[in-house]
Chains A and B, each alone.
Chain A
């Protein structure tokens, strides 16, 4: 990815786009980065059609559903986008990827990143953060998952018991939190 600050003659590929977050912060980002967000891309292209793009970097794209803190993290993720989200060929690589996914903070942060990535239609990011959130709850007990998502179990105890019996094979080997 090109870095505009090192480029004395900004070409069209390194043009900047300004994004405005829900808390009215402005982010000036490289076009290549902004175009990863399909929602932004769509807006930008529509603007172009309306011949407003002639104003270049003066275009401000409002993102009323994205908070500045979240957008900052999405942009930084974009800049070091992993090559591929496909399952790693070997165990070691998969472990490295898992660690990488863990760096993206607490589950609460991930939920914010997911809902923002979903809103921005940022496919690679959505894939990555969805998996990162799944990593947090995989092999955890039902109680843990409930607490984590703030859900109250609404099954009658005997219903839940019956269910656990029916799917006994799936309940073997759970980390209790």
Chain B
């Protein structure tokens, strides 16, 4: 035997670890186990801090169950550090595999917004049970749900990843009347009620934006274990061509609503149908909404407001082309980029008379790029109703959402059908059909249900559910 020269063995650490005899194991099969028993040396102490590396490889549900194993496991797994490790590990694994982010499309429509349609992706675990009736009953864990039972105004007004922002009101016919916002995670059923606000008779729009911590900027890994958020209530300008916008902002850091005035270089018009139906869009922590002409018919441009980094002013983005009053237009987000979906209402003389749609994307330096142009006449479907609608004399479809993972796929509403459209292959596929109070509505009907963009929520499911932390103490 050769002894090592200059080094002594203790440079490798002096703790001597021994095995535990596991009575369930046959010593004949595992001859190396035939050694003395040491009751103090449990598997857990042998693993030491490596235990966290094993547990963060479990599916999320399993890891959460393991919290109830013991008090020490509880503190290990409930620590935000664990969540960070867990998310980082998933992120490293999934980089090659970006089309697997689970998501759920949630539509809220018709009759004081009480119909709900939930379309989860195959790998989504966010099971929202609407109890067949397609209502808001899945929110019955919220204390404000009693207002929904009394038929007071109650609806989802915004979402961020897997969180929902719900607004409920005690209308002014009752005293005291107020308006209440509630943030919740429908999967974990955690919720938080924000301080009450007086009921507003004005046309307000609301945006909900979270600022997640970046755990590794290079790898673009963000973690939802800690985050700050703002709920931004934008009051409609009272006059045309207004350059001062009045807002109320709730910040998670202060736990309060605060009024603020934001200046705009461009004059803004009061919110009417076009802006109100489209609502507020959130993209990369920035809020966007539509500015229309004074009649509220024609889109003039987009207002951009960054509540975290530039809360003094808002900016204006011109559309890629001058839009005409009969043009249909809506906006959405694809992987951090603002996108526009446009159906021109006028045909040019050289046209075949068919409706087309265009998808524009706002690139990093503020230029619009035409990504897709699809003629509804060229779309393919094995569903006869869809063929009829696509070739009809009215604009056939409206944008619901851009697919979060695949650039060329878009969710459209055609008649009362919810359709997936591949803008490259031009294939249309029925995903679902709108219902009213549980009853399926006819696909083609002379009047179909309008699903407003403000009531379309694309929930994406992070690998660990976003917690809903309590408000700071005052």
Shortest distance from the beta carbon of B448 to any chain A beta carbon, whole Å: 35
Per-position binary interface string of chain B over residues 1-27, scored 1 when its CB falls under 8 Å from any chain A CB and 0 otherwise? 111111101111101110110100100
Is A55 engaged at the interface, CB distance under 8 Å to the other chain? yes
Interface contact A150-B44, CB-CB below 8 Å: yes
Interface contact B31-A164, CB-CB below 8 Å: no
Complex CA gap A93/B400 in Å reads 35
Per-position binary interface string of chain B over residues 315-334, scored 1 when its CB falls under 8 Å from any chain A CB and 0 otherwise? 00000000000000000000
Interface contact A87-B94, CB-CB below 8 Å: yes
Complex CA gap A169/B141 in Å reads 13
Is A15 engaged at the interface, CB distance under 8 Å to the other chain? no
Out of B6, B47, B60, B66, name the residue touching A115 (CB < 8 Å).
Answer: B47
Shortest distance from the beta carbon of A17 to any chain B beta carbon, whole Å: 11
Shortest distance from the beta carbon of B64 to any chain A beta carbon, whole Å: 4
- How many residues of chain B have a CB within 8 Å of chain A? 56
Per-position binary interface string of chain B over residues 49-80, scored 1 when its CB falls under 8 Å from any chain A CB and 0 otherwise? 01001110111111011111111011000000
Complex CA gap A105/B33 in Å reads 13
User: With A52-B5, A55-B5, A167-B188 known to touch, is A86 a contact of B96 (CB < 8 Å)?
Assistant: yes
Complex CA gap A44/B47 in Å reads 26
Cβ contacts under 8 Å, A81 to chain B = none
Out of A50, A134, A140, A163, name the residue touching B6 (CB < 8 Å).
Answer: A50
Complex CA gap A50/B6 in Å reads 9
Cβ contacts under 8 Å, B71 to chain A = 154-155
Out of B4, B54, B97, name the residue touching A130 (CB < 8 Å).
Answer: B54
Is A10 engaged at the interface, CB distance under 8 Å to the other chain? no
Cβ contacts under 8 Å, B65 to chain A = 141-142, 145, 167, 170-171, 174
Interface contact B62-A139, CB-CB below 8 Å: yes
Complex CA gap A87/B57 in Å reads 11
Out of A39, A114, A140, A151, name the residue touching B62 (CB < 8 Å).
Answer: A140
Interface contact B12-A65, CB-CB below 8 Å: yes
User: With A18-B2, A58-B2, A174-B65 known to touch, is A43 a contact of B7 (CB < 8 Å)?
Assistant: yes
Cβ contacts under 8 Å, A149 to chain B = 42-44, 69
Shortest distance from the beta carbon of A143 to any chain B beta carbon, whole Å: 9
Interface contact A133-B70, CB-CB below 8 Å: no
Per-position binary interface string of chain A over residues 10-47, scored 1 when its CB falls under 8 Å from any chain B CB and 0 otherwise? 00000000101010101000000000000100010011
Is A70 engaged at the interface, CB distance under 8 Å to the other chain? yes
- A60-99: which residues lie under 8 A (CB-CB) from chain B? 60-65, 67-70, 86-87, 89
Complex CA gap A168/B59 in Å reads 16
Cβ contacts under 8 Å, B3 to chain A = 60
Complex CA gap A77/B55 in Å reads 22
Interface contact B22-A106, CB-CB below 8 Å: yes
Interface contact A65-B50, CB-CB below 8 Å: no
**With A46-B7, A119-B13, A150-B20 given, can you name 17 additional A-B contacts, CB distance below 8 Å?**
A18-B2, A20-B1, A59-B4, A65-B13, A69-B31, A89-B97, A108-B25, A130-B50, A134-B54, A137-B54, A139-B59, A139-B61, A141-B65, A145-B69, A149-B44, A154-B71, A167-B64
B residues sitting closer than 8 Å to A (CB atoms) are 1-7, 9-13, 15-17, 19-20, 22, 25, 30-33, 42-44, 46-48, 50, 53-55, 57-62, 64-71, 73-74, 93-94, 96-97, 187-189
Q: What are 18 sample pairs from A and B whose C-beta atoms fall under 8 A apart?
A: A43-B12, A60-B3, A65-B15, A87-B93, A87-B96, A108-B33, A114-B47, A130-B50, A130-B53, A130-B54, A141-B65, A150-B20, A151-B69, A153-B70, A164-B68, A167-B64, A167-B188, A170-B60
